[in-house]
C-alpha cells in the first residue's frame, strides 16, 4: 500500500499482533486496534491473579497497553455468543462424533474474518490486519487473490486461513508474512520492547 489507509488490527495482546500494529503505524497508516472477548470472565482459570485464556480479560488489557504505547485507539468487542455458537458448540458436536475439529480454523472463518471484519468496516476501515505469518497477493493470470505461506516456514499459519473467501482476502493484510521471526532483528526487537506474551 503506497497511500495512507485506515487499517483495523486484530490485537490479541501477544507479540505478533502487537508487532503487526507497530509496523502499520510506522508505515504511516491510520491504525485502530480491536480485541475480541470470546470467553466469559468467570469461566477463565485464574493463577496468581492472572486470568489465562484466548481473548480473555488479560489479553484485552495487554492489547490496550500496546495500543496506548503506539498512540492508537483500541476497542474490546464482546463476541461471546457468536464464539459459543460457531466454535464451542461445533467443537463439542464434532468431537462427540469422533472427529477432531480445529477451533482456530472455525474462529478465523466465522469470528475473525467475518464478525470482526464487519466491525472493522463499520469503523470505515479499508483493511483488516492480523499477526498471522501468511501472505496474500493478487494473481493477474488467474484473476484472483491467492493465500500463500509466510516466509518463516516454522511460523507459517496459512493452513488455518484456508476458508477465507476472495472478498475477505482482498481486504486482509498480513504485515508479518514476509518476516522471519528468528532472523529478523526488527521483529525480535519490537517483540522484546512490547514485552508481551507469545500470540
3-state secondary structure 121-140: HHCCCCEEECCCCEEEEEEC
163 CB neighbour count, 10 Å cutoff: 13
Q: Does residue 1 fall inside a structural domain?
A: no
Q: In terms of pLDDT, which residue wins out, 97 or 193? A: 97
pTM of structure: 0.84
**How many Cα atoms are found within 13 Å in the side-chain-facing hemisphere of 133?**
16
How confident is the model at residue 58, as a pLDDT?
Answer: 81
pLDDT confidence of residue 90:
93
Number of domains in the chain: 1
Measured over the CA atoms of residue 109, residue 117, residue 164 and residue 7, the dihedral's sign is negative
- Structural domain contains residue 150: yes
Q: Check whether 84 has a pLDDT greater than 80.
A: yes
Q: Is the pLDDT at 197 greater than 70, yes or no? A: no
The reply to whether 82 falls in a domain is yes
Q: Worst-scoring range by mean pLDDT, 95-99, 108-112, 195-199?
A: 195-199
- CATH number where 135 lies: 3.40.50.620
Average pLDDT in the chain = 86
pLDDT of residue 75: 95
Q: Is 162 within a domain?
A: yes
47 has pLDDT over 50: no
Say yes or no to pLDDT of 165 above 80. Answer: yes
CB 199 within 8 Å of CB 131? yes
Q: Domain residues for 60?
A: 6-194
pLDDT value of residue 192: 56
Amino acid at each position: 500500500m503506497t497511500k495512507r489507509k485506515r487499517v483495523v488490527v486484530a490485537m490479541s495482546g501477544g507479540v505478533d499482533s502487537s508487532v503487526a500494529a507497530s509496523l502499520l503505524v510506522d508505515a504511516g497508516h491510520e491504525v485502530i486496534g480491536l480485541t475480541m472477548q470470546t470467553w466469559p470472565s468467570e469461566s477463565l482459570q485464574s493463577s496468581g491473579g492472572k486470568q489465562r485464556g484466548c481473548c480473555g480479560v488479560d489479553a484485552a488489557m495487554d492489547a490496550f497497553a500496546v495500543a496506548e504505547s503506539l498512540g492508537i485507539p483500541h476497542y474490546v468487542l464482546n463476541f461471546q455468543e457468536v464464539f459459543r455458537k460457531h466454535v464451542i458448540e461445533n467443537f463439542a458436536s464434532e468431537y462427540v462424533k469422533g472427529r477432531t475439529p480445529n477451533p482456530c480454523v472455525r474462529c478465523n472463518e466465522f469470528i475473525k474474518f467475518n464478525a470482526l471484519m464487519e466491525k472493522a468496516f463499520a469503523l470505515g476501515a479499508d483493511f483488516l490486519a492480523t499477526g498471522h505469518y501468511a501472505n496474500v497477493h493478487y494473481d493477474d493470470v488467474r484473476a484472483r487473490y491467492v493465500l500463500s505461506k509466510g516466509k518463516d516456514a516454522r511460523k507459517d499459519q496459512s493452513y488455518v486461513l484456508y476458508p477465507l473467501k476472495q472478498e475477505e482476502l482482498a481486504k486482509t493484510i498480513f504485515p508479518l508474512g514476509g518476516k522471519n521471526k528468528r532472523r529478523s532483528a526488527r521483529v525480535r526487537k519490537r517483540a522484546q520492547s512490547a514485552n508481551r506474551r507469545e500470540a
